[in-house]
A = this chain, B = another copy of it.
Amino acid sequence: MEHWILGEKAFNVEKLRHAETIFTIGNGYLSTRGVFEEGLAGEERTTFLHGVFDAAPVVFTELANAPDWLDLQLWLNGERFNLGEGDLLAYERHLDMQNALLTRRLTWRSPNGLTCELLFERFASLAQPHQLFQRVQVKPLNGAVTLQAQASLSSEADNNGLKHWHHLKQHAGSEQAWLLCRTRESGVELAAGFNLMVEAKTAVKIAGWNVQGRPTLAVDCQAAAGETVTIEKQAVIYTNRDTADPLQSMLKTLASPARWAEAWPAHQAAWQAEWLRSDVMIEGDAEAQLAVRFSLYHLLIAAPRQDDRVSIGAKTLSGLGYRGHVFWDTETFMLPFFTYNRPEVARNLLSYRWHTLPGARRKAARNGYQGAQFAWESAATGDEVTPTWVPHFADSTRLVRIWTGDIEIHISADVAYAVLQYWRATGDDVFMLDRGAEIVLETAAFWASRVEWVEDLKRYEISDIIGPDEYHDHVDNNAYTNYLVRWHLQQAIGLVDWLAEHAPERLKELGQNLDLSSAALAGWQKAADLIYCPFDPQTGIIEQFDGFFERQEVDLAALEPRDISVQALFGIDETCATQVLKQPDVLMLLYMLPDLLGPEVLRANYNYYTPRTDHTFGSSLGPSIQAVMACQMGDVAEAYDHFMRAARADLRDVRGNAGDGIHGASAGGLWQAVVFGFAGLRLTEAGPQVSPRLPAGWKRVAFTINWRGQELKFEVMPNEPQA
């Protein structure tokens, strides 16, 4: 069990939201934050199910917080147990990441002086993802207790105060309670139900309180000092996204009540299989080991295994941040882990983009372009859901314009890149023919219509956009975008050739909805040939966008120490006028297309852009990739600093916003930093190769890669690759 346990030794209400995020449990169907069963003022109590979005002001749509399956109120001799009152004589909580089991153990002295030991456990079955289990043990220490336990389901669940459910039906008998409700705007029906099993030495009475909107089971029993009462809850959730009749499916599952002990072995076996394919072992660095497992745990509990119409939002399912919206974070940062470990999940995630092509086509059409333009923020339908105006953080009567949904357009190339990377890694021609090619070609058609011909210069340009570095908006010829567009168009043309050779019928089919005529393809080729890709052969430096070199230089070291971003320090407009980067676009480009310009160009750009980047409080996407680049430069010590910055983002909440949810991109980036950075994995046509550059103290790194259907195990020692 070494380095599998994330523990908390004391209860700290100041860090409540952070702890809720990191102690999230889930099974790829839903996730539930690490809230306390009995609730606490200030908590953010959420259970999010993949794909269950509903309309919301300002943010357009958000994951709808589901009825809370965890609710359990304990009344001990008439006093309600809660950590806001009484005294905590002992407390510890831990997440067993190997088995996705959360445990809390405490001794509480009530205001009236009753002392009880309490043990809380929960898991969301990975083997049967609609089944959720909860167990509570109560042992009075210094006297007898009359215990009342109340467990409810409520259709009043909310997101930061916004209700998303209409109540439809309910039941509360003495055996079970359930609820059927429907999202207010999007019409998702959800059925949730539960039963209780109580073990006590005295008689147990369970009453159903059929309170409208809040079916409740109330348990009454007694325990003498030293006697333990055990309450087990099995909860079941289905929606009409899973089954035609969620109420019947839920009731059927609930009707054969499974005990915790019966469900546990299958759950544990499922997790064992999961880790067998996914684990990364790091010997010699306990913090790095824990951090990497923590990142993979959070990716795995958010990974849709049964559903290919959903993807993983920027904050996974673990918090309210970004409302469950999906960004390029998924394809560029999280997807490689799945592509190389769980290609079935990667296929689901990419299929989400295929299912949302209609939304992407609407976005392109609305903007006057051809093909498909993926939303910067995407939800159920693929329509753009980036907020356009949000209240100013310091003055809610002022509104701030958010431009990313309008002009941060590189995501259409990022998705295509991810499809092609998946195809290359898996050789999954079936997916490529059925879905992948359509994504790559429709987005290529978008680019061919998006590029702007500049007659004076006889070249294509792309003006007025935002690159990955969001400190600079409304820029022209962002290098990351322009280079990637060129590559994307070239790949698309190559894909058409491949289709013509291997699947001419499919090519013909695709040509029915998309202009793939030779004239159109000649246009793509011309765009690829003539798009402006900035490069200074004298210095080897790629200018991040037109005029970047003229922006003001800032000595970032002189700003230290600081605990806020440069943008927060200087202001939005002032930062835009400088050369300070939220993340280094050009290095990201050279990471993604390593063979583009050779090692000397890479070094020149690394040396130029690294000191200009806000590594500490800029983008959370930056540090892990910066770690890979530092490895490639041979600077392992600096790489390790960047790596640990990413490793601590959520574990230690170094950015102060982990309470909003896990930084999924940082978690996925951490895996890339270990595998592509420290282990130096390269996927060549000759096969995967490693060239390790391990940090000081690391004795061994071991991981598995799925390459074209084969599982390859790597064990890397310092300077000694082994396949």
Residue of B nearest to A390 (CB): B57
Question: What is the minimal beta-carbon distance from A310 to any residue of chain B, in angstroms?
Answer: 21
Chain B residues within 8 Å of A73, by CB: 212
Bound Cα distance from A152 to B41, whole angstroms: 22
A569 within 8 A of B: no
Question: What is the minimal beta-carbon distance from A104 to any residue of chain B, in angstroms?
Answer: 19
Bound Cα distance from A216 to B388, whole angstroms: 43
A454 within 8 A of B: no
Q: Which of A115-173 contact B (CB under 8 A)?
A: 150, 152, 154, 156, 158, 161-164, 166
Q: Which one of B156, B166, B211, B389 contacts A209 once the chains associate, using CB atoms below 8 Å?
A: B211
Bound Cα distance from A213 to B601, whole angstroms: 63
A10 within 8 A of B: no
Bound Cα distance from A121 to B391, whole angstroms: 44
Q: Given A211-B214, A214-B211, check contact A396 B161 (CB 8 Å).
A: no
Interface digits, A199-230 against B, CB 8 Å rule (1 contact, 0 not)? 00000000001111010101000000000000
The reply to whether B396 and A383 contact each other, CB–CB distance below 8 Å, is no
Chain B residues within 8 Å of A164, by CB: 161
Interface digits, A52-70 against B, CB 8 Å rule (1 contact, 0 not)? 0001011010000000000
Chain B residues within 8 Å of A58, by CB: 57-58
Chain B residues within 8 Å of A154, by CB: 156
Q: Given A211-B216, A212-B150, A397-B383, check contact A163 B166 (CB 8 Å).
A: no
A408 within 8 A of B: no
A399 within 8 A of B: yes
Bound Cα distance from A193 to B653, whole angstroms: 43
Q: Which one of B161, B212, B214 contacts A184 once the chains associate, using CB atoms below 8 Å?
A: B161
Number of A interface residues at 8 Å Cβ cutoff, please give it. Answer: 36
Bound Cα distance from A163 to B159, whole angstroms: 9
Bound Cα distance from A73 to B57, whole angstroms: 32
Bound Cα distance from A184 to B161, whole angstroms: 9
Q: Which of A339-385 contact B (CB under 8 A)?
A: 383-385
The reply to whether A396 and B162 contact each other, CB–CB distance below 8 Å, is no
Chain B residues within 8 Å of A162, by CB: 161-163
Q: Which one of B60, B158, B212, B385 contacts A39 once the chains associate, using CB atoms below 8 Å?
A: B212
Bound Cα distance from A161 to B389, whole angstroms: 21
Q: Which one of B41, B212, B214, B399 contacts A389 once the chains associate, using CB atoms below 8 Å?
A: B399
The reply to whether B152 and A211 contact each other, CB–CB distance below 8 Å, is yes
Question: What is the minimal beta-carbon distance from A150 to any residue of chain B, in angstroms?
Answer: 6
Bound Cα distance from A11 to B679, whole angstroms: 74
Bound Cα distance from A163 to B161, whole angstroms: 5
Bound Cα distance from A212 to B39, whole angstroms: 10
Bound Cα distance from A335 to B349, whole angstroms: 61
Residue of B nearest to A167 (CB): B41
Bound Cα distance from A211 to B148, whole angstroms: 11
Chain B residues within 8 Å of A57, by CB: 57-58, 391
The reply to whether B211 and A150 contact each other, CB–CB distance below 8 Å, is yes
Interface digits, A441-482 against B, CB 8 Å rule (1 contact, 0 not)? 000000000000000000000000000000000000000000
Bound Cα distance from A152 to B210, whole angstroms: 12
Bound Cα distance from A608 to B383, whole angstroms: 49
Residue of B nearest to A41 (CB): B166
Q: Which of A260-314 contact B (CB under 8 A)?
A: none
Residue of B nearest to A391 (CB): B57
Bound Cα distance from A161 to B383, whole angstroms: 24
The reply to whether B212 and A211 contact each other, CB–CB distance below 8 Å, is no
Chain B residues within 8 Å of A39, by CB: 212
Chain B residues within 8 Å of A152, by CB: 211-212
The reply to whether B60 and A397 contact each other, CB–CB distance below 8 Å, is yes
Q: Which one of B80, B388, B396 contacts A399 once the chains associate, using CB atoms below 8 Å?
A: B388
Residue of B nearest to A389 (CB): B389
Question: What is the minimal beta-carbon distance from A303 to any residue of chain B, in angstroms?
Answer: 30
The reply to whether B396 and A55 contact each other, CB–CB distance below 8 Å, is yes
Chain B residues within 8 Å of A75, by CB: 210
Question: What is the minimal beta-carbon distance from A359 to any residue of chain B, in angstroms?
Answer: 11
Chain B residues within 8 Å of A397, by CB: 60, 383-385
Interface digits, A377-411 against B, CB 8 Å rule (1 contact, 0 not)? 00000011100110100001101000000000000
Question: What is the minimal beta-carbon distance from A618 to any residue of chain B, in angstroms?
Answer: 28
Bound Cα distance from A60 to B41, whole angstroms: 24
Chain B residues within 8 Å of A80, by CB: 212
The reply to whether B212 and A209 contact each other, CB–CB distance below 8 Å, is no
Interface centre among A161, A184, A216, A388, by most B CB within 10 Å?
A161
Bound Cα distance from A475 to B444, whole angstroms: 47
Interface centre among A39, A60, A211, A385, by most B CB within 10 Å?
A211
Residue of B nearest to A161 (CB): B163
Residue of B nearest to A73 (CB): B212
Residue of B nearest to A156 (CB): B156
Bound Cα distance from A434 to B216, whole angstroms: 56
Bound Cα distance from A60 to B399, whole angstroms: 11
Question: What is the minimal beta-carbon distance from A645 to any residue of chain B, in angstroms?
Answer: 34
Bound Cα distance from A85 to B614, whole angstroms: 63
Residue of B nearest to A207 (CB): B209
Question: What is the minimal beta-carbon distance from A656 to any residue of chain B, in angstroms?
Answer: 22
Bound Cα distance from A111 to B571, whole angstroms: 65
Q: Which one of B60, B209, B391 contacts A396 once the chains associate, using CB atoms below 8 Å?
A: B60
Interface digits, A29-48 against B, CB 8 Å rule (1 contact, 0 not)? 00000000001010000000
Chain B residues within 8 Å of A214, by CB: 211, 214
Bound Cα distance from A617 to B695, whole angstroms: 75
Bound Cα distance from A476 to B214, whole angstroms: 57
Residue of B nearest to A154 (CB): B156
Bound Cα distance from A385 to B396, whole angstroms: 10
Bound Cα distance from A515 to B179, whole angstroms: 65
Chain B residues within 8 Å of A383, by CB: 397
Residue of B nearest to A78 (CB): B210
Chain B residues within 8 Å of A396, by CB: 55, 60
Considering the complex of A and B, which 10 residue pairs feature the smallest CB-CB distances, nearest first?
A: A156-B156, A57-B57, A161-B163, A209-B209, A57-B58, A389-B389, A73-B212, A158-B163, A162-B162, A211-B216
Add 13 more A-B contacts to A41-B166, A154-B156, A211-B214 (CB < 8 A): A39-B212, A55-B396, A57-B57, A73-B212, A150-B212, A152-B212, A158-B158, A158-B163, A162-B162, A209-B209, A209-B216, A211-B216, A388-B389
**Interchain Cβ contacts under 8 Å between A and B, 6 examples:** A55-B396, A150-B211, A384-B397, A385-B397, A388-B399, A389-B399
